[in-house]
Amino acid sequence: MGTPVKLRRSSRWATSLSSSLLLFCNPGLALSQQLQEDRIRTIVNMVPVGVTVTDSAGKFVEQLRHGDFTVSDDGVKQPIIYFAIDLPTDVLILIEAGPAVYLMEGGHLRAASKLLDGLSAQDRVAVVKYSDKPESVSDFSGDKKVALQAFDHLNFNLGFGSLNLSDSLSTLLNWMDQSPASKTIVLLSTGVDTSAPESGAKLLQRLREANTRILAVSLLGDLRTPKPTNKKRPPSTAMAMTSQQFDAADQTLRQLAAATGGRSYFPGDAKEFAAAYQEISEIVGHQYMLGYVAPIEDEKVHTIDVQLTIDPQARPVGIVSHPLPLRVDHRQTYLARKRKDFSLPNGAIGK
């Protein structure tokens, strides 16, 4: 098998959020749009693994090559047959349409311009809001102004009675799992979840098996230290509930992100929101995509482990300027289904 050659950003998978929303109500429908260009050789049962490498200062390590990684499936090393760098990504911004967003008066959304500005021109962004269920606000578009304008068309619910976070994420995964494109959900949420407890457990297991990364940003910052209000007006029941659920809500966001090899952020003010969004845009733009063939189709969950083959202490070219230790983030598991063949965006494949 030949050695794959690294490739930087390639062209886009043609997908449609509006088509996906039809699938929410009609699961039997197939996506009408498939990859229209840059189709290449089909691989059977390839396991895609997105990987980010950062140093102790949080800076991304670039210039790594195919041979600098090893991938193991249930502890057994596997040949890496696909290697690409910084593929275009579909970024879905999922926004909680509850009182936290309303009370923050859009401050975190204004800061989100840092995220949009930092994305590649080839990355596409869609905006979806949720309370009891997900609702499309804007479809995927490479024009980041579309997403920015969508923030102005959000409507908010002023109670925590129906914030079905787990159910909403599960619905979105029903669609996103159908495309092998690089996918990231940027979740803007308090972490409060009114879905049934079993829904949360099922979602975590599904996220561990999926190829969709979650980068979660908590919206509880201002609610942890609320501004002074009219003392004659007692705090709402919703606010009292939130105060009691801070720890559980934070843990929910940490678990959702960790299950996908993503990260979670807990900003307290506009400056920290901007810094979080800036880092998220850099994560999206600094991803290595590795692929290997699933060794067996046993319908079981397999563990994935990615390691660097280089010795950081030897200070090889590419990491000589990075403070140690290095951090490697990636998805941890997948379900070895009997999958249909699919085509990959242009990358490198061993022959």
Domains, the chain, in order of start with CATH, read 17-86+287-349 (no CATH), 89-283 (3.40.50.410)
Mean pLDDT to the nearest integer, 332-336: 90
Task: Reply yes or no on whether the pLDDT at 261 is more than 50.
Answer: yes
pLDDT tier for residue 351 given thresholds of 50, 70 and 90: very low
> Using CA atoms, how far apart are residues 182 and 324, in angstroms rounded to an integer?
28
Q: Is the dihedral of CA 88, 282, 264, 153 positive or negative?
A: negative
Which tens digits make up the pLDDT trace of 229-247? 554 444 444 445 446 678 8
Please report the pLDDT score of residue 177 as a whole number: 74
**DSSP β-bridge partners for residue 186:** 93, 215
Please report the pLDDT score of residue 103 as a whole number: 61
Are the C-beta atoms of residues 188 and 108 closer than 8 Å to each other?
Answer: yes
Structure tokens at 289: 């995509």
Are the C-beta atoms of residues 89 and 182 closer than 8 Å to each other?
Answer: yes
> Using CA atoms, how far apart are residues 75 and 92, in angstroms rounded to an integer?
33
CB burial of residue 186 (10 Å; 0-12, 13-18, 19+): buried
Which tens digits make up the pLDDT trace of 142-188? 999 999 888 877 766 655 568 899 999 999 998 887 766 689 999 99
Task: Reply yes or no on whether the pLDDT at 49 is more than 90.
Answer: yes
Structure tokens at 263: 């990260």
Are the C-beta atoms of residues 123 and 345 closer than 8 Å to each other?
Answer: no
Are the C-beta atoms of residues 86 and 287 closer than 8 Å to each other?
Answer: yes
Are the C-beta atoms of residues 186 and 280 closer than 8 Å to each other?
Answer: yes
